[in-house]
Amino acid sequence: MASQAELIADVRCATGESPVWHPVEQALYWVDIPNRTLLRWQAASGEIRRWTGEEMLACIARGSDGRWLAGMQSGLFELEPQDDGHLAATPRARVEHAHPAMRFNDGRCDRQGRFWAGSMLLEMAAGVPAGALYRYDGAAGTLVPRLDGFIVPNGLGFSPDGRTMYLSDSHPSVQAIWAFDYDSDSGTPHNRRLFVDMKAHPGRPDGAAVDAEGCYWICGNDAGLVHRFTPDGRLDRSLAVPVKKPAMCAFGGSRLDTLFVTSIRPAGDLADQPLAGGLFALDAGVRGLEEPAFAA
């Protein structure tokens, strides 16, 4: 299936990540991690707004009360975008990283509204498996590591019925996607198994989304592709974007049938990919699922 990628916003993010569609506002929110920025694209007007905070901002989730929860460097924060462009952040839960130079990376809510986020070393090239996957207990205000031993945990996603959890490791030495049985009552993953060996496909596994048919979409970083895998791990289709490093995808639009893709703008000569760091939209040919709100 061919699909033409449309440039929605030429924002040139250093690392554009964590796109989340806001159905009430009909707007897409996402982050630029190293630039500590929250961005918003309004579908009706095309207006783009930016708010900048004090720490690297990695992953976000919309709260059921209208506020935003974010995984940053030192923990989870409640965000308050200000009229002057400042992003105020109130601590919700601090984290004790395995090493000092770490931050959160990919994260999202499960179907029940529990927030999950993975951590990684800032120096990814070191290849140290110090990353962990945390679950936030909002009632107790604590962050608890549930899985560890990752270099760059990524690609977190949940099946439509919430009974399967997906997780990847983006590091070049790993490039694997796993599936877990997920106890939706207790919020516990178990029975880890290999879902896709991404070394057999173009690109490293990065951020992901799950569609209404239960298929898993993941960005093929370094390959300029977004792959769709069926629930049995079969590659169904690959859609191209005009940049080498698509970072994360999310469904949105009035019918949830647009696949938005954020991207990375690496340093160096970008003559062959001048749109790197932009936000793109694709006709995925299938509808997605509304992103669960954090059960604050």
Cα 83 from Cα 29, distance rounded (Å): 16
Q: Is 206 a catalytic residue?
A: yes
Terminal C-alpha separation, the chain: 40
Catalytic residue among 110, 169, 206, 211: 206
Residue 182's contacts (CB-CB under 8 Å, 6 or more residues apart) are: 110, 158, 159, 162, 163, 164, 165, 188, 189, 190
Q: Which two tokens stand for residue 39?
A: 């961005």
- The dihedral built from the CA positions of residue 197, 179, 76 and 249, taken in this order, carries a sign that is positive
Those residues with Cβ within 8 angstroms of residue 139's Cβ, 6 or more apart along the chain or in another chain: none
Q: Which residue has the tokens 């940049």?
A: 243
How far CA 247 is from CA of 134, 185, 203, in Å, comes to 21, 31, 11
Catalytic residues: 206
